[in-house]
A and B are shown apart, each in its own frame.
Chain A
């Protein structure tokens, strides 16, 4: 049994809304380019959301300046997913967000002034902790009760969706807004550069020549509802989340195992949970960051699970950049859209298969096949591997 999705919202480098993101995906239009809003970083390109903090605050009606970009992006997507829904005394409603660095975009402004003893504004730190980014979103939406934040690096967003579905199925909540959000920061850009996996060129997921990732920013949110909530709201499901699994790779703190152990477990268990066959998966939205290590390990995992019958797959990271904790949630929204619109997105910048695995992702937009079930992968530091399965609502 799955859980119904009745609302979706997304903001990323390729658009401020579901509609804008969908248009860019259809037109193969990437949002990765030189940075305009985040100044002073060493990255030559990233997937920046095309709005300043002031633009976002104005559009969202947030008056305080003590708010992280992470919260603003999250609120933008959460509002869209929440739509016209009303608060309710009888529908137990929760909020689960995911973020990797929370308000680091503000904290690093403080810390720079702190180091140079240039009148640091300590108030900026009130938005540092990841939990506070979620509480800000909850406050703006008027949600109280179950408010939670997950932080498992790059798989966080997928894990928020998984936890929300489990809470509904166990009857702890009736409906829950789930997703993830992360803003670009000098901290994460320097971090991935220090690991020497930040590509100064446009990233090339699943290509033999791939040389790393481009970071991105954004947020994705989905409204999940159980039976009781659906009866009361009258909302019509747009899709179902039917399968989910998380597994530890237990191989290395950052690198994925060469045999794809954790990823294989996550994919297999998620599909089993969905109660469908391997052959029922119409499309795989891969994690596909563009790093040597991830794309190889993920390819091995896909072969482990699907053998010679790997479904059409692609990574959308060359559109959005790697949005860290938001990635699993943004790509969940893309997965829902793939089912709604019968779309398989192109893996931009692919030319040559990875020599060891020989897999070819979908390189051109495909609108000619029915998409009934999508597998979405998200893998993170700490060997944190998560897979979700979305299916058409019938």
Chain B
């Protein structure tokens, strides 16, 4: 990447934490508690009632965050919509799978229609009447980083504002599956959606600069990749004020925080970490840069570097 500077000018997250419509949330955020639940905003303020009834959790979260971002950034239409999702629309997928295996005769199509991975991006374009580039990336734990990289390409190609985000939803069977497959998740499985406006323009709304994003599938050496990434951005690990990590901490950085404890576990939780970082960079002037080191799945590495923007 490393071409023209890119800025985050809006951010919105629905999660199991008080993130939505709550700028400065990073200051007082503790780990996801034992009694956690998704904290839903008043969706009726963002989505027409008839549509809302048919929408699954992941769709509601995504559309509300998107509309909130567009309002925050003070833009009319984004030039493009780019979404990442690890597992897609699980609620509707399971519902249609169940229907198709148990119901004879004519099946109701709504859950099939809403089962495709690009339903979020499609519903966002529908709800705001957007005719731009519309893309959905699904590379399990790196889905969000891939979306962010695509958004960066678009801005380098001349777009000015891209709506980029990620969403994944929890359904009950996931707890059973992770147990049966003996996955050690380390924190509770949760749902979450985070959307951003990524802009080529530094505006009054700018929260942080996106300095770089890098993805490595089938990674051999996480430490080497991280050092090389920081080096390309003129940094060494000792220069990093804060690392938000999933997997292992980055040795040598001033501070390491495991972000899954804050967000809970879902494939695109690194999008939560990005919002947390952008929020923190605005609130705490002592933090100048944040590295998000996503090795939620150890064979996949996502690196995202955020910098403070000088006033």
Residues of A within 8 A of B (CB): 100, 102, 107-108, 111-112, 115, 122-123, 125-126, 128-132, 134-135, 138-139, 143-153, 159, 163, 166-167, 170, 172, 186-187, 190-191, 193-195, 246-254, 261-262, 265, 380-384
Contact = CB atoms under 8 A, between A and B. Distances in A.
Given A144-B220, A381-B118, A382-B116, A250 B139 contact: no
Nearest to A122: B180
A384 B122 CA distance: 7
Contact of A262 (B131, B139, B140): B131
Nearest to A166: B153
A315 B150 CA distance: 30
B126 A190 contact: no
Interface stretch (B105-113, B198-206, B279-287): B105-113
A252 to B, nearest CB: 7
Interface residues of B, number: 61
Contact of A381 (B88, B113, B132, B153): B113
Most chain B CB inside 10 Å of its own CB: which residue of A249, A253, A261? A253
A151 B117 contact: yes
The SS class assigned to the B binding surface is mixed
Contacts of B134: 152, 246-248, 382-384
Interface string B138-150: 1110110010011
Contacts of A194: 106-109, 112
A191 B97 contact: no
B81 interface: yes
Contacts of B136: 150-152
A135 B217 contact: yes
B257 interface: no
Contacts of B180: 122
Contacts of A144: 216-220
Given A144-B220, A148-B146, 11 more contacts: A129-B87, A130-B117, A138-B217, A149-B138, A151-B88, A151-B138, A193-B107, A195-B112, A248-B133, A381-B119, A382-B121
Most chain B CB inside 10 Å of its own CB: which residue of A100, A125, A146, A250? A250
B181 A122 contact: yes
A145 B101 contact: no
A262 B1 CA distance: 30
